[in-house]
Amino acid sequence: MSKIQEALARIQATKSASKREIAGKKIGQSESVVLAKLVDNGAVGSTKPVGATGAGNRFLEIDRDALKEAGLLAPEYHERLLADQYRDIKRPLIAHAFGKRATKIENGNLIMVTSAVAGEGKTFTSINLALSMAREKDHTVILIDADVAKPHVSSIFGASDEPGLLDAIEDRTLKLHELLLPTDVQGLSFLPAGRPRHHSTELLASARMDELATELREEYPSSLVVLDTPPLLQTSESKVLAAIAGQIVMVVRAEATSKDAVLTAIDMFSDTKAVNLILNQVRNAKVEYQYGYGYGQ
């Protein structure tokens, strides 16, 4: 049995488990509240970001307490457990991205986070994976909101009106380093989705998007690029973005997602693509409630 099959078996095994809410909020569902703000570097009391990529005189100040309240970071009593799990999740991704005691995957530092359908905890995973990776000493992280139809991360970070990915694709005079927003998390930068367009799928499928992907690889060779992308079965953008990403992380809500939906989504990837499953909200006998994962290629 392959690792993916094993992970799918775990999904089926947990289907009958009862659902639970933490602090009255389902993890990853409160995505419309602004939980960060743009701050001038010279503002009184501001913490100038260290090690993040980006130009300009502003940076994002992230309200971690508000993220916890909104269910986008784990509450304190689960924080250590979640941190340990994301260390396990990120380690093989980083190893394959840079060939650290593992086979180097082509374009492996471009990591696409997606799901089969909405409501799986994809945005929660993108944010927490980026935060965990930013703790690495040898690498910086660029989190990109590529869910251009419903740019939740841009909304959460208060950057919905900021130029970003779509603007860089359509306007060649815009430079990526000018659009990247440093954050007050050391080593973490953010690229908003940009202003919405009705032809966003065509923009993402354009040769210019390929050029930007190449620029991300060549201009930021030690950076891990995490792309938060739309659900595979509900939009067309994710299928396009999968072509440029070296590694795929697919989030599966263990108590909700059907096996058929997961298999249909996986079938959209080429046989050579490195696909990894994260089982979100897993219950087991040892831990009453956890953010579990299953890793497979």
**Considering the domain boundaries, does residue 9 fall inside one?**
yes
**Considering the domain boundaries, does residue 297 fall inside one?**
no
Distance CA 50, CA 198 (A): 37
Beta strand 58-62 with 110-115 is unpaired
pLDDT of residue 141: 97
How many structural domains compose the chain? 1
pLDDT of residue 80: 81
**Considering the domain boundaries, does residue 290 fall inside one?**
no
**Considering the domain boundaries, does residue 22 fall inside one?**
no
**Considering the domain boundaries, does residue 119 fall inside one?**
yes
Q: What is this structure's pTM?
A: 0.82
Across the strands, what pairs with 119? Answer: none
Q: Residue 257: give the domain boundaries.
A: 3-17+34-280
**Angle in degrees, CA 277, 159, 206, rounded to 5:** 65
Distance CA 285, CA 255 (A): 15
**Considering the domain boundaries, does residue 287 fall inside one?**
no
**Considering the domain boundaries, does residue 25 fall inside one?**
no
**Considering the domain boundaries, does residue 206 fall inside one?**
yes
pLDDT of residue 136: 93
pLDDT averaged over consecutive 10-residue blocks of the chain (297 residues)? 56 42 35 74 49 67 86 75 89 94 93 93 93 94 95 93 95 93 94 92 92 93 95 88 94 84 90 88 50 39
* Termini Cα distance of the chain: 12
pLDDT of residue 70: 81
pLDDT of residue 225: 97
Q: What is the CATH number of the domain that holds 179?
A: 3.40.50.300
